[in-house]
């Protein structure tokens, strides 16, 4: 066996092993402790708060809050003690409430989508499996291909009868 070839077959393994050892050896021990899922967003929120707190006083003024569009729009609500500034705790509470509202809207939309699909499946005159249903803030979008105009109208009627539907965009197309 050629010594030169042996070096090339062994060297990649050594290099990979050395890189892995180096990577794990350099990482601080506490970086392996990721904490709970609840800790991670709070850490991110704390970093964002500190970035927004340009003067470092531990509070966000209206001028500092302008750099976060959501916070700026909800400044008065976030300022729960009405002192004209937002503390880190008020910031965290505001962001948590915002995330909960988004999650509720997503779950509500998912429920509306499921109910519309279920009602479409119940109707024998519609090929419901060929119809896609999407919902965003109560607005339902129907898409896909159906056999005739009656099915286009009937799908919209069914969707309109579902609780939580605020508007319908009927993008169903006739098979051609």
Q: Which of 30-44, 63-77, 95-109, 118-132 has the lowest mean pLDDT?
A: 30-44
Beta-carbon contacts of residue 70 (< 8 Å; ≥ 6 apart): 98
Proportion of the chain above pLDDT 90, given as a percent: 55
pLDDT of residue 132: 94
Confidence of residue 20 (pLDDT cuts 50, 70, 90): very low
Beta strand 139-146 with 167-174 is parallel
Q: What is the pTM of this model?
A: 0.54
User: How far is the CA of 16 from the CAs of 6, 8, 11, 21, 135, in angstroms?
Assistant: 16, 13, 9, 9, 48
**Domain 104-174 belongs in CATH node 3.30.1340.30:** yes
pLDDT tens column, 77-101: 999 999 999 999 999 899 888 888 8
pLDDT tens column, 51-87: 999 999 999 999 999 999 888 899 999 999 999 999 9
**15 pLDDT higher than 60:** no
Domain assignments of the chain as residue spans, ordered by start: 104-174
């Amino acid at each position: 066996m050629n010594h030169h070839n042996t070096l090339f077959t062994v060297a990649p393994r050594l290099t990979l092993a050395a890189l892995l050892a180096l990577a794990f050896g350099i990482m601080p021990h506490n970086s392996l402790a990721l904490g709970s899922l609840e800790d991670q967003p709070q850490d991110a929120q704390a970093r964002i708060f500190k970035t927004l707190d340009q003067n470092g006083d531990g509070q966000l003024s209206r001028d500092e809050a302008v750099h976060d569009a959501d916070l700026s729009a909800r400044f008065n609500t976030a300022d729960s003690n009405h002192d004209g500034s937002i503390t880190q705790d008020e910031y965290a509470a505001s962001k948590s409430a915002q995330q909960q509202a988004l999650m509720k809207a997503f779950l509500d939309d998912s429920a509306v989508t499921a109910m519309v699909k279920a009602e479409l499946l119940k109707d024998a005159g519609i090929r419901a499996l060929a119809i896609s249903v999407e919902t965003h803030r109560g607005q339902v979008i129907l898409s896909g291909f159906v056999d005739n105009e009656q099915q286009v109208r009937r799908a919209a009627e069914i969707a309109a009868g579902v609780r939580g539907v605020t508007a319908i965009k009927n993008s169903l197309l006739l098979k051609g």
